[in-house]
Structure 1
Amino acid sequence: MGSTYQRAITPDEWMYLGLPMAQDIQYVIQGEGDLRPEDVVTALGRASEASPGVRLVRRGKLWVDSGISPAVHVMDGPLDRRRLDAPALQTWVGDPQTTFEVLLFPGDPASVVLRGRHTVTDAGGLALWAADVFRVLRGQEPLGAVSPLNSTAFLEGVCPDGLPPIPPLAGALNWPSPLGPVPAGIRKVVWRNRTVDGTHPAATAKVAAALAAAYGPEGRGRFFVPVDLRRHDPDIRSTAWLSQALILDVDSGEEWEHVHRTLLAALAEGKEIALRTDPSMMRMPLPLIRLISKAVARTAARSDRYCALGFLTHLGTFDLADFSTDGFRATAMYTLGGTGPGTPPAVDLMDAGGRTEITVTWLDGPGVADRAEALLDTVEEALSPSRNRRWEGNLTTRTVPAQGVMELIRAQERQEPDRVALTGPEGEVTYRELSRRADAVAHELRRRGVGRGSVVALLADRTVAAIAGIWGVLRAGAAFLPLDPLHPDRRLADVLTDAEARHCLVQQEYGGRGLFASGCEPLPLDDLSRAAQDQPEFPDAKARPDDLAYVIYTSGSTGRPKGVQIEHGSLLNYLHWALDMFHIDAETRLTLMTSLSFDVSMTSVFGPGMVGGSIVLVPDRINHLTLRRLLEHSGATMLNLTPSHLDLIGQLDVQPVGCTGVIVTGEQLRVEVAARAQRMFGEKCRIINQYGPTEATVGCTAHVFDETGDGEATAVPIGRPGYNTTVHLLDERHRFVAPGETGELYLGGAQLARGYLGRPGQNAERFVRLADGTRVYRTGDLVRVLPSGELSYVGRNDDQVKVRGNRVEPAEVARALERHPAVDRAVVVARARPGGSGKMLYAYVLAHADVPPEELEVHTARLLPPYMVPAAFLTVAELPYTVSGKVDAHALPDPFATDDAPVDTGPSAGPATAISDPVTQAVAMVWSRVLDIPKEQLDEQADFHRLGGDSLALLSMLAEASRELLSQGGEETFMANLHKIIDKPTLEHVAALAREAGAGGG
């Protein structure tokens, strides 16, 4: 024997010992990874030493500690939760005298079953021990459960004035089984399990009301609701059977809210304490108990009448992290209940991993399993009535051709080799020439061992060589990683290291940048793409749907950018939908005007080439001059841009012709901007609002703007899902929302990314599975379904913002600031831009030394892309906090409010002085309109960015200033100094450059 731990057998336990079939309580934990049997054996030993109640054997009317830890049994194969008919779950596998054991089911998923006899434990006691086992597996100390109290002694402590009388159960066998009659006799148990998304308050009452209405005589029902007695003494840690049931009666037509109030009142009065087994049961021999149980079972089966409609138990909420280890991540946890002769079916509920697990348990018989599934349908509808209410257009199933993207492009080259594939400043390039250049890149990459599984980076502008480089990487069977030349070297070097890219195709002018110390070899993109005129056609690698096509890095909430991995199958599905949705065909001339590291560009990089159309390259930085040249001289028939770019186009004095479509994506599209564009481009031009996160491959919903139908709203809808894409809206408890309600958008289907490269934690957080097993991406976007059946974007449920179409996590900006040696703490928040749409980033720092805003700006610009550099840097003495301990963003000072206490924001913080120069006055008037601030607040040292102007607002300001102050020739001269303006956007400097370009007759 082991320790001196022992406890007396209670009447409940004595009665269960006399039942003719085992009463086991079982938790099933399924997950990814592996649990080694030897590790589990070791963990059981330590956890059981801390909880000796799991080592009990019966000695007469005592439970005593045997000193022997529960055994581990390794099964032959995986556990199928859809059937749950494994023989090992029906019988005790090890020594029948033991009271706890563990079953390991290897496979994918792997499963571990922790089980205990109901004669010595209950669900709460088993859960305490199970959590301790996993604590030990994680290298932690077990909490233990050493209390020797049985339920009788426990209740006597709870009720020092005496226990309440045991109530009689009048008309005990008066309720039909919800699962129909079963033949008399002992047979195996049948379990059916269902998972419902979300956690559901008042679940017990909702289920009771639904089952009574569906199965009870005249809609009435009685349920036994087991209650964990530990609630009366939360400090007690015991594995003993410490639960009692209370009776819950439901009247005909009673709403669940009333049932819930009844249940709460019963719990408040502690009514579960009364429903105990009569102590006189201890005087009855076990064989006699067995005979009586068999007689009750025969009577119940013959009459199909039981003491209640069912046992209805909610076991509580479980965090799957508590049942995970370094090598095993729990993905689901549910219970398998027990049953006995003459007892009604059991319905067990528990919350695990943000879902509600439901298990129905009863004796097997003809049709019982099917009827259990029907009962689960009733329970699911009671908890999640919105789950199956699909709105029109939620899924468009379409078979996508098996040919890969590069196969389709190669076919266009062979069909019409002299057709124009690219146009732009470098002239027209045919399919033959572009394909030859792509083949040259592919040959060189293959010579260097690049192939399937390799990641090849590309550092280039929007050039012919860049397109050839991307196509060449895919033809070699590798994946490409586009880098933005505007990003700082340190960030690009980090990305190359993180992606383990061994080669980088580099545009000539960027070859000298210091970012290749990571082991990545730079290759001259321009030279490679022009080499080997006489090389044979490259034998294209045939891409499989699950091969990696590209990796694009986005801002990361952990402070590090994360690489999104897109496979060929996802890209192909998107492109076929995009070709149809946007009407891209052989006559299309589609612009490429966004950075190649912005996944929006993929539509232009691949779409036209699949159908014989052409790409219009716009390599220059976007401003009103490049946009005017694009619209008036490029011959583009379709634009692919952000709402900010479209807003800037709307300010131009041009009348574009021949444009059949404008694809707008990356940010929320305002109706005002879309309507102005519609009038500018004409009725025959389709303004298409596309939505989609990088993790769902460029875009997955779209809406064609209709000024008549959309005119009443502020923002243009984001439309309906594309091919083979599903949309799910869930609330903060992960429950499906009712039609018309706002919910977080979860995307599923063919376009989901493989996941984040090397980020298992973020993958588990964002790429999740719904209860039915559907893999979805949790976007963080709040959306609702309009009466038209289309989706409308509402906002975000976190701090993420869009800046010029780029996703920005303020936490990443704050982490970059905290790398400055003088900064102790940084907080970055997004606020509405003064006088304009969208938001801007503002940084607040706690510093232990004086540090000017200019220095912080330079520091941040060395680490982050331009669009992530805050518009203002404020040094504050302290940070305000909410009562929950979070930084109170609303209490932070507004850097542009005139009545705030003085804060150090930079050169423009001082009081304005009068402006006498007429050109400067004219520029100030433009600034006043664009920034929506009084002209009197401006002086010559005013800084455009520090007054709230972002890059697109700067371009709008320059366009207005050019139009009002300069001739066409002067405008060209003025805009040639764009880099100088960006470096020093003060009112005095901008006015001086305008004066040099001819403003004011100078």
Structure 2
Amino acid sequence: MEWVFLGMGPGHCVAHVVEGEGSLTVDQLTRAVEVAAQASPGMRLVRQGKRWMDRGTAPSVVVLDAAGGLLNSPALQRPLDANSRTCEVLLVPGTRPTVVFRAFHGITDGRGLLQWAADVFRVLRGEEPLGADSRLNDGELIQGLDRPGGLPPAQPNPKLEWPPLLGSRSPGSSGVLWRRRAVDGRHPAATAKVAAALARTYGSGRGRFFVPVDLRRHRPELRSTASLARAVQLRVEVGDGWQEVQQRLLTLLATDAELAPQFADSILRTPLPVMRLVNAGIDYFAAKKNQYNSLAYVSHLGNVALADFCAGDFQANAVYPLGTTGPGGPLEVNLLESAGRTEITVAWHNGPGLAKRAEAVLDTIEEALCPREHRNWAGNRTERPLPSQRSVVELFREQVERTPERIALSGPEGEVSYAQLSRRADAIAAALRERGVGPGDVVGLLAGRTVAAMAALWGVLRAGACYLPLDTRHPDARISDLLTDAGSTYCLVEKPYDTRECVQSGCKPLILDDLAVDGAAPKDWQDVVPAPEDLAYVIYTSGSTGRPKGVQIEHRNLVNYVHWGTRAFDVDADTRLPLVTSPSFDVTGTSVFLPLLAGGQVILMPEDPNHLSLRRLLEESGANALNLTPSHLDLIGQLDLSPTGYRTVLVIGEQLRVEVAARAQQMFGPDCRIINEYGPTEATIGCTAHTFDAELDGGSAVVPIGLPADNTTVHLLDADGRFVAPGETGEMYLGGVQLARGYLGRPELNRERFVHLADGSRVYRTGDLARVLPSGEIECVGRIDDQVKVRGHRVEPAEVAQALEEHRAVDRAVVVARSRAGQSGKALYGYALTNSAVTSEELTEHLAAVLPSYMVPAAIMMVAELPYTVSGKVDTKALPDPFADESPSAAPTGTAPLTPMDPIEEAVADIWARTLGAERSRLEAQSDFHHLGGDSVSLLSMLAAVCREVLTPAQEAAFMAELPKILAEPTVERVAALARDARG
């Protein structure tokens, strides 16, 4: 009723703003408004005499030019007309459209208007509107409540006693001032926190606030757009913290204080013209005497999902309210939660200098909800200009021209100079350009760690395209899926992989051995210089939805990493860095780009890492730096070596345990830096680093991940999206120039993982938990989800489970990661509900045919049923332990009777027990290494121990030459037999 008394000026209109990206036309919006208004006739009300009537005409849609800023637009100051127009929709067109829903507060309130706005977007999506057909007003709703004891007593009539938050204003000033701010996170008790902060800052510790309460809470089933908000008076006393204020507010709500009568019957019988004159007088004297009925109105509209305000090509990125003003009233503060942040707007009568004061109020509220010390971590001061704006393509060409005869690559194929590598890359680039390949194209690359692969990588980049590195060890089905998903027309293939089925269908294979010939490129060949936003490469990682996802890295991402990494890791012309990891692993970029762009040398290691190949690498290759995973570093630590001349050991991909780092430091000597690097693929290889210090880091289990890279940021947010206090644990959100473009062809996943902070910064949600140590550096402490690292590769168990369910005998599958006693890290274990007889070996073979080896579970169990929690989720803790019974009866069925072990088998079994953390008494000749939970890295550790303890140095080469036989049958008996043959 009070809004009827006040009239329909701009301060008496409730409004909501929906900002977005994409496209939204006037015609589309007009049609949706008409349908939504038909379903909610309350949005079509006009005043006829003393009654509100449905005029049957939908609110108008008006195109708005907001060139001077939306909040300063005259259209928002335009009063509505009770006799013809009580609601309107404004559209700011363009590539970043904005929709404003405005309505007279007498016919709707904030929640009612939000409800109707969501219906408009529901129609835009092609859905039926939910509608709101209730005709109840606030008085009728209250009278209809069955409340024992009747209504609460009337609230005290507020006196004009409180000074305004924004200072004095001139009587008769017109118009409404709006200012907006957003803070990160959802903030429980936000109303109380805001009231306490405003009272402390502007009311000498005390104050009265009006808090609107939605009457719909008493009728949850009610769908109504009517104005159903009633305010309660909330007092803050000197010394109150927000907790006391919150308790007082909860008491008001518990006693239904908002149901108390607000006006005497005599006031309700006052003619409207007279009441409006009275209100105008109240407002005049309040402004003249600087006395108001409260410090502020504080209204919290709850949480909205941005998805409810998306339709077609239009994607909402912000929804926020524009509040109202009243006679003798102070400013209004409105809060609304959406998309992991809290929108804050203030509304106040306009006047000179008030905009600056409104910003000060917003500063006070922001500090109360999101303290500056939580937001502004000193470690994020990483701004650093790049020494060059040139791309890696240009930088490599310049390096070739400076040092054409310097050795760029070395390895089993011999030495290759920069000039030779460059000519081979030119030949490949020219071949691609002849076929129309250029910027925007994704070219597959199926090759090992060879000269041809390095030439192909640079050839693709010089052609202006981006490369998709593929692992030759992955099954054909996996490679085919990635090429198809990436839309690759061509795939550069090294022999003998050209005969594989994966490159014989879909894209066109180009044989590297035929393309990479010296002098094959035109003499006038010119590199295609990429733009900063052009793609450099796409790398696929495991996906929680069951599909791998392609991460798109742009040239600007890559060049920032190159400059930071070169400086942070002391890479120069003397650096000789081996290429140990798979080309499909993004950390390979460190071993390729950093040395070659600094005039250094890449040492190629075609064979997979094992203790023999790593020993040769450390002792014979001439390398003076390493880039590898913690698992490989752990394996190296088990070798009896004392390598010399190493300057840097760069470790990335998994958590680095202090004991592994300490052992490496002792092995490589005090002059070698052991650097722990952290970074998901989505943040371009690595984005933080810490140099291990045995004295400072020795008291922890894991090595810190350090500080952010140049021009990158790390933010720690809690489960509600709020910045955590220093020292507290939060999820890492990464920002800055190294952030990937996003996932290829996965817009829904991009919206989920690449989000924006309240200040507009684009960040990536890692799912990794971390905290800032007293030293000021970051320590990674775990995951918020089921994702696990296996040999440095990210694995989503959901993707493995989906692949398992594709087997005809499996109805349902669950895959979990768990640790075993005596083993570092985690391994995958599968559980299957089956519809027919099948063995774990069959299921393992099925997965090996479609997934990389590191994604195949260490063991698969058939279960009769899956345990569930009370919330309906699979109870992973209640799943059986695959290795709970490692007795003789647990041996694979169908095997021959077991015979006593000889001394060599006994020695092998002892090594297995230490490696696997299993009880020695439960190991037998037919025990399978993988069935006992061993993965490929622990297998290599076991083999290294066999060579060290059972064989002589002269015998281990013959033993390791039989590695394929061991992989095919990794049993105690088989390993012992091959060791016996090597000794023989």
TM-score bracket, normalised by the shorter chain, equals over 0.9
Provide the residue aligned with 1:23 in structure 2: 12
1:252: how far off? 1.2
CA distance in 2, matches of 1:26, 1:911: 80
- Matched with 1:65 is 54
Correspondence for 1:648: 635
Of the three residues 400, 416, 432, the one matched with 1:445 is: 432
Name the counterpart of 1:896: 883
Give the match's secondary structure for 1:948: coil
Superposition pairs of residues 290-305 of structure 1, within 5 angstroms: 290-305=276-291
Q: Deviations over 1:854-902 (max 9, x none)?
A: 1100100111000000000100000000111110000000001139999
1:32 is aligned to 2:21: yes
Partner letter of residue 944 of structure 1?
A: F
Residue of structure 2 aligned with 1:697, choices 684, 700, 709? 684
Deviation string, structure 1 residues 177-224 (Cα, Å, up to 9, x no partner) = 1111111114111100111100000000000000000001x3211101
| Residue in structure 2 matched with residue 884 of structure 1 by the alignment | 871
**Distance in 1 between residues matched to 2:195 and 2:801, nearest whole Å:** 50
After TM superposition, give the deviation of residue 64 of structure 1 in Å: 1.1
Q: After superposition, what is the alpha-carbon deviation per residue over 1:704-729, rounded to whole angstroms, capped at 9, x for unaligned?
A: 00000001100000000010001100
Unaligned runs of 5+ in 1: 1-10
Q: Is 1:349–1:357's contact at 8 Å kept on the other side of the alignment?
A: yes
TM alignment of 1:324-363, pairs within 5 A:
324-363=310-349
- Corresponding residue for 1:867? 854
Query: Using the alignment, how far apart are the partners of 2:153 and 2:779 within structure 1?
Result: 60
Give the aligned partner of residue 14 of structure 1: 4
Query: 1:424 Cα deviation (Å)?
Result: 0.6
Per the TM alignment, residue 42 of structure 1 is displaced from its structure 2 partner at its CA by: 2.2
Matched, 1:576 2:571: no
Contact 1:386 1:737 (8 Å CA) reproduced: no
- 1:368 maps to which residue? 354
C-alpha contact 2:743 2:750 (8 A) present in aligned 1? yes
Residues 708 and 698 of structure 1: is their aligned pair in 2 closer, same or farther, counting only changes over 3 Å?
same
User: Structure 2 CA distance, aligned partners of 1:333 and 1:518?
Assistant: 48
- In structure 1, distance between residues paired with 2:68 and 2:355: 18
Scaled by the length of structure 2, what TM-score is found?
A: 0.97
CA contact (8 A) 1:191 1:360 kept: yes
Aligned ranges 1:318-467 → 2 under 5 Å: 318-385=304-371, 389-400=375-386, 401-467=388-454
Corresponding residue of 2:35: 46
- The answer on whether the counterparts of 2:152 and 2:255 sit within 8 Å (CA) in structure 1 is no
Question: Does the alignment pair 1:784 with 2:774?
Answer: no
Distance 2:432 2:596 in 1: 22
Q: Tell me the amino acid that sits aligned with residue 215 of structure 2.
A: L
Q: Does 1:951 align with 2:922?
A: no
2:967 corresponds, among 982, 990, 994, to 982
Contact 1:742–1:784 under 8 Å retained in 2: yes
Q: Aligned pair in 2 of structure 1 residues 875, 571: CA closer, same or farther (>3 Å)?
A: same
Q: Match for residue 796 of structure 1?
A: 783
> Contact (CA 8 Å) 1:479, 1:549: kept in 2 or not?
yes
**Distance in structure 2 (CA, Å) of the matches to 1:874 and 1:448:** 50
> 1:940: Cα distance to partner?
1.3
On the 8 A contact 1:496/1:518 being kept in 2, the answer is no
- Is 1:685 matched up with 2:700? no
Q: Bigger CA drift: 910-919 or 407-416?
A: 910-919
Q: Work out which of the residue numbers 250, 257, 271 in structure 2 matches 1:264.
A: 250
Aligned to 1:251: 237
Deviations for 1:432-477, whole angstroms, at most 9, x for unmatched residues? 1111111111111111111111111100000011001101111111
Q: C-alpha distance in 2, partners of 1:373/1:899?
A: 68
Shift of 1:916: 2.8
Cα deviation for residue 824 of structure 1 reads: 0.4
CA distance in 2, matches of 1:735, 1:937: 50
Is 1:734 aligned with 2:721? yes
Q: TM-score, normalised by structure 1?
A: 0.96
| 1:953-968 equivalences in 2 (<5 Å) | 953-968=938-953
Q: How many Å separate the matches in 2 of 1:960 and 1:312?
A: 69
Partners of 2:456 and 2:492 within 8 A in 1: yes
2:606 corresponds, among 613, 619, 638, to 619
Distance 2:42 2:10 in 1: 22
Give 2:467's aligned residue: 480
Structure 1 residues 390, 21: closer, same or farther in 2, change over 3 A? closer
* Structure 1 residue 909: Cα displacement: 11
The AA in structure 1 aligned to 2:354 is V
Shift in CA distance, 964/166, structure 1 to aligned 2, threshold 3 Å = closer
**Residue-by-residue CA offset, 1:585-617 (whole Å, 9 max, x unaligned):** 000001111001100000111111111110011
Superposed CA deviations along residues 75-129 of structure 1, whole A, max 9, x for unmatched, are 2357846xx1112111147896222221111124211111211011111211221
Q: Deviations over 1:508-550 (max 9, x none)?
A: 1100111135531100112211253574263111122111100
Query: What's the CA shift for 1:971?
Result: 0.7
- Paired with 2:457 and 2:221, the residues of 1 have a C-alpha distance of 63
Q: 2:237, 2:726 → 1: CA distance?
A: 30
Within-5 A mapping of 1:785-864: 785-864=772-851
Aligned partners of 1:166 and 1:912: how far apart in 2? 90
Question: Partner amino acid for 2:472?
Answer: P
Structure 1 counterpart of 2:155: 167
Q: Is the 8 A contact 2:573 2:600 kept in 1?
A: yes
The Cα of 1:289 is off from its aligned counterpart by: 2.2
SS at match of 1:185: coil
Secondary structure at the counterpart of residue 574 of structure 1: helix
Q: The residue matched to 2:378 in structure 1 has which SS?
A: coil
Q: Secondary structure at the match of 2:587?
A: helix
Q: What is the DSSP-based 3-state SS (H/G/I as helix, E as strand, rest coil) of the residue aligned with 2:812?
A: strand
Q: Residues 47 and 82 of structure 2 are in contact (CA less than 8 Å); yes or no, is this contact kept in structure 1? A: no
**Aligned letter for 1:286?**
L
Aligned 8 A contact 2:578 2:605 in 1: yes
Q: Is the 8 A contact 2:677 2:689 kept in 1?
A: yes
Structure 1 residues 21, 891: CA separation in 2 closer, same or farther (over 3 Å shift)? closer
- What are structure 2's unaligned runs of at least 5 residues? none
- Change beyond 3 A, Cα 1:288–1:95: closer
1:276-315 equivalences under 5 Å are: 276-315=262-301
Is 361-370 or 378-387 further displaced after alignment?
378-387
Q: Counterparts of 1:86 and 1:979 in 2: how far apart (Å)?
A: 74
Secondary structure in 1 matching 2:233? strand
Say if 1:78 and 1:40 are closer, same or farther in 2 by CA, change over 3 A: farther
Provide closer, same or farther for how the CA distance between residues 915 and 931 of structure 1 changes in structure 2, counting only shifts above 3 A. farther
Using the alignment, how far apart are the partners of 1:925 and 1:908 within structure 2?
A: 24
Change in 2 beyond 3 A, CA 1:711/1:155: same
The 1-side partners of 2:17 and 2:863 are apart by 52
- Take 1:225 and 1:533, find their aligned partners in 2: how far apart are those partners? 77
CA contact (8 A) 1:818 1:825 kept: yes
Letter in 1 for 2:913: S
CA-CA distance at 1:906 after TM superposition: 7.3
Aligned residues: 982
Deviates more, 1:404-413 or 1:414-423: 404-413
Trace 1:563-642 onto structure 2 (pairs within 5 A).
563-642=550-629
Query: What's the secondary structure of 1:262's corresponding residue?
Result: helix
Kindly tell me: are residues 177 and 447 of structure 1, through their superposed partners in 2, closer, same or farther at Cα, counting changes over 3 Å? same
Deviation sequence 1:958-999 (CA, Å, 0-9, x none): 00101112222321111111112112111111111111211x
Take 2:11 and 2:762, find their aligned partners in 1: how far apart are those partners?
38
On the 8 A contact 1:829/1:841 being kept in 2, the answer is yes
Paired AA for residue 365 in structure 1: G
The partner residue of 1:930 within 903, 915, 918 is 915
Distance 1:911 1:125 in 2: 76
SS of the aligned residue for 1:854 comes to helix
Candidates 758, 762, 769, aligned match of 2:745: 758
Counterpart of 1:984 in structure 2: which amino acid? Answer: E
Quick check: 646-655 or 322-331, which moved more?
Answer: 322-331
Given candidates 905, 917, 920, the residue that maps to 2:902 is: 917
Structure 1 counterpart of 2:88: 101
| Corresponding residue number in structure 1 for 2:206 | 220
Q: Identical aligned pairs, as a percentage?
A: 58
Distance 1:186 1:56 in 2: 29
